[in-house]
Amino acid sequence: MSKNKNIQFSAELRDQAGKGVARALRREDKIPAVIYGAGEPPIKISMPAKEANIEYNKGHMYNTLSDVTVDGKKHLTLARDVQTHPVKDTVQHIDFLRVSAKTKIDVEVPVHFINEEDSPFSKRSGILNIVRHELPLTCKATDIPEYVEIDLMPFNIGDTIKLSDITLPEGTKSAIDRDLTIATIAAPKTAAQEEAEEAEADADIEAGTESDEAEAEEKSEE
């Protein structure tokens, strides 16, 4: 449940905004971004596109603090919105929120399950069905946990793992006022169930093939 190390970004101030400016920056392998919040005026910045895409593709920008150094001044921030290209999925713009040790924030924190192989349900060939891979938590911005660990040893077939069943990292609480279902543990499938699922899948494939053939025949007649 340790914290992620802060992401390091370098950036430059920019005076102008707009689509034309954004296109010009992207031609220079840069992207526009903004830093806002904490009662201070927002500042417009530009930053290397390569750095932004590398960190975005790691999948933890929304729950890891970013040190954004702008012309020699470091800003402690958290990415709150990342706009991406609709086709290429490359980063186009980032909104960074200024934070401090006093800032409380809602974040999605990944769930890590441990001791699955040694758990009672695993020894009976039970199946772990994960409902939520992340949990919505409220915590201080400077104390965002890297993950929430759930020990599977107490659980058996037929059990439902709820938020109330686990111990959250110190200093965090649920951001939602209801008892979330995190996972369920099902009995192993019988041979009859597996055969029925295979038959259903075969039927779907056959129906799709017949539909494709009928569509092709209609087009050939036109």
Q: What is the CATH number of domain 105-186?
A: 2.170.120.20
Measured CA to CA, the distance from residue 165 to residue 186 in angstroms comes to 17
Which residues fall within 8 angstroms of residue 147, CB to CB, at 6 or more apart?
1, 109, 110, 111, 112
The ranges assigned to domains in the chain are 7-99, 105-186
Measured CA to CA, the distance from residue 25 to residue 19 in angstroms comes to 10
Measured CA to CA, the distance from residue 159 to residue 20 in angstroms comes to 56
Q: What is the CATH number of domain 7-99?
A: 2.40.240.10
Measured CA to CA, the distance from residue 106 to residue 87 in angstroms comes to 29
Condensed to tens digits (0 to 9), the pLDDT of residues 191-221 reads 666 666 677 776 677 666 555 555 555 544 4
Helix (H, G, I), strand (E, B) or coil at 2: coil
Measured CA to CA, the distance from residue 27 to residue 24 in angstroms comes to 5
Measured CA to CA, the distance from residue 130 to residue 173 in angstroms comes to 21
CA 39, distance to chain mean position in Å, is 28
**The 3-state secondary structure of 162-216, one letter per residue:** EHHHCCCCCCCEECCCCCCEEEEEECCCCHHHHHHHHHHHHHHHHHHHHHHHHHH
Q: Judging by DSSP bridges, how do beta strands 91-98 and 30-37 pair with one another?
A: parallel
Average pLDDT by consecutive 10-residue portion of the chain (222 residues)?
A: 82 81 83 92 94 94 95 94 93 95 94 95 94 96 94 96 94 94 90 67 67 53 48
Condensed to tens digits (0 to 9), the pLDDT of residues 21-52 reads 777 888 899 999 999 998 899 999 999 999 99
